[in-house]
Structure 1
Amino acid sequence: MTEGAARFTPGTPCWVSLMVHDLAASEKFYHALFGWEFQEGPAQLGPCIHAHFGDRQVAGLGEMHDRRSLPAAWLPYLATDDADATCALARDCGGTIGVGPLDSGDAGRMAIAADPCGAAFGIWQAGEHTGVPADGRIGTPVWNELVTRDSFVVSPFYSTVFGYDTEPVVSTDIDYLTLHLGGRAIGGIRGVGGSLPRDRGPHWTTYFAVADADEAAQRVTELGGHIVREPRDSPYGRLAHVADPEGARFAVIRMLDPRDAVTRRVRD
């Protein structure tokens, strides 16, 4: 990205990253799965690489410094015009800041935070790197969804810190809120109550667009990962939840209409 590129509206998911234990193995896995190519990332962040797909820089992968036993997990970053002010507001609203804010070279300023229920997310103030738009292109992130115990408990935090409007799904069977910015759907919050995995707790899930969800899920298993939830149809496309060889979970989806990817709620 260049400094002249358009900035995202604050609150927009604009980037995803993954911290792993074996960077070389993860590079091989995601290259084989999505066709990503990789370049070295900012040296001050430790061993890290940036994934490119076509003309886009789509994700960042980094290696845990001391190979500690923290689980690998995809992390979405939410755009801000002022990372320091957003971190201060997040603290005031009951969140915590685990890393930063700190500069990432000329690329931007970042922080890693957690909401009051413990779900981690990133904060990104763009410099030369603005992020990647969620416009449905194959091989890129198209949706981010928070899985938590109760959507209505945590949604005020995100609405206050990032200015989201929320739209509930009217149903007795599902607890789901869609997050909107300027009338545009940009993410979702799913409440699962007691079904929340104890070994994960509240967490964000990133969805990546693929040409064929069944083939992508099968490819994951061939490359040493596993399927968390089998491929299935949803109102927004065919999707599957999977995990890479280190256990980092994500979803793959074949959107019904990629042009409408950013206005759809990815749920089933």
Structure 2
Amino acid sequence: MTETTRVAGPGNAPGAPGTPGWVTLVAPRPERLKGFYEQLLGWEFRPGPPRLGMNLRAFAGDRPVAAIGQVPPHRASRAASWTPFLLSADLDLASMAVGACGGTIGVGPLNDREGGRLAIGADPSGAVFGIRSAAPFDGPGDGPGVPVWHELLTYEPHRIAPFYQRVFGFASEREVNPEGAERAVLHAGGRPIASIRGLGRGETFDRGPHWVTWFQVEDVDAAALRAVDLGGRISEAPHEGPYGRTVTVVDPEGTPLGLMIRRRG
């Protein structure tokens, strides 16, 4: 069962409205995560832009893919999660649309080191996301260590999906799996790039609505075991999903992330 709705929105990057262009993480001890992600995803770390509080900048090959920073003291008790930054050709207009559609902007808009602009906000459920006027790389990318999928876990996915459609111009497809669970799949630039779903039975909302990012790996099962050896844990066992083989793990600082071999096509 599928249901597709298309809503035009402001601030869309031509040909790729809402495409994720960057991910960040703030953690209590970012230096503790350096070795974990270096060995798990093959990242190389370089100093990040101190103005934005990002201590470490991660590269997959020569491609900048993420940044990790120190969590501010007033947020130290809040559970950490990866934050996707969605692209917009008019960041100021998109930021105004966030407020008009029931969300909030907490940081920015301000200039970034790539010569573009960025802002950080929250949707009506409180899930944090970012907006960028340009990505620090070209195209969606591929290869080990590159972000390839994003999922928002929230209370009412089909109430929150229209917010992202209106702000970023996503197309949204409603999916129902054989067990009856529903999710909204968001499309940008003609391809599925993220999903929004509610929690199923047995799941808890100890960290509130939040985004989870999946990173490309060469072998999901081997990477899951490596994550455990490096001090993480497996939260959802390896399995075949709609877009490839996946596993969900938790890093040593308690941040959930996914590992995936994404199917082509």
Instruction: Provide TM-score, normalisation by structure 2.
Output: 0.86
| Structure 2 portions without partners, runs of 5+ | 1-12
Report the counterpart of residue 117 of structure 2 in structure 1: 109
> Structure 1 residue 73 and structure 2 residue 81: aligned?
yes
| Structure 1 portions without partners, runs of 5+ | 1-5, 261-268
| Structure possessing the higher relative contact order (Cα contacts under 8 Å, 6 or more residues apart) | 2
> Structure 1 residue 59 and structure 2 residue 82: aligned?
no
CA contact (8 A) 1:18 1:62 kept: yes
Name the CA distance, whole Å, in 1 between partners of 2:14 and 2:65.
16
CA gap of 1:174–1:9, structure 2 versus 1, over 3 A, is: same
Match of 2:239 among 220, 223, 232: 232
RMSD of aligned C-alpha atoms?
2.2
Identity of aligned residues (%): 44
> Structure 1 residue 22 and structure 2 residue 22: aligned?
no
Task: Please state how far the C-alpha of 1:221 moved relative to its aligned partner.
Answer: 1.0
Name the CA distance, whole Å, in 1 between partners of 2:158 and 2:181.
12
What secondary structure sits across from 1:98 in the alignment?
strand
CA contact (8 A) 2:236 2:247 kept: yes
Instruction: Provide TM-score, normalisation by structure 1.
Output: 0.85
CA gap of 1:7–1:166, structure 2 versus 1, over 3 A, is: closer
Match of 2:183 among 176, 188, 196: 176
Write the deviation string for residues 140-183 of structure 1: whole angstroms up to 9, x where unpaired.
11011111222211111111100011111145612111112343
Residue correspondences, number: 251
CA contact (8 A) 1:8 1:79 kept: no
CA gap of 1:22–1:41, structure 2 versus 1, over 3 A, is: same
Name the CA distance, whole Å, in 1 between partners of 2:58 and 2:82.
14
Name the CA distance, whole Å, in 1 between partners of 2:30 and 2:53.
11
Name the CA distance, whole Å, in 1 between partners of 2:195 and 2:108.
25
CA gap of 1:150–1:193, structure 2 versus 1, over 3 A, is: farther
Write the deviation string for residues 103-156 of structure 1: whole angstroms up to 9, x where unpaired.
223442211111111111111112xx5346434422111011111222211111
Task: Please state how far the C-alpha of 1:32 moved relative to its aligned partner.
Answer: 1.3
Name the CA distance, whole Å, in 1 between partners of 2:141 and 2:115.
22
Task: Please state how far the C-alpha of 1:243 moved relative to its aligned partner.
Answer: 0.7
Letter in 1 for 2:37: Y
User: Equivalences for 1:1-268 in 2 at 5 Å?
Assistant: 9-66=16-73, 68-126=76-134, 129-131=135-137, 133-171=139-177, 173-192=180-199, 197-255=204-262, 257=263, 259-260=264-265
What secondary structure sits across from 2:79 in the alignment?
coil
Write the deviation string for residues 193-239 of structure 1: whole angstroms up to 9, x where unpaired.
67662211211111111111111111111111111111122243221
CA gap of 1:116–1:175, structure 2 versus 1, over 3 A, is: same
What secondary structure sits across from 1:73 in the alignment?
coil
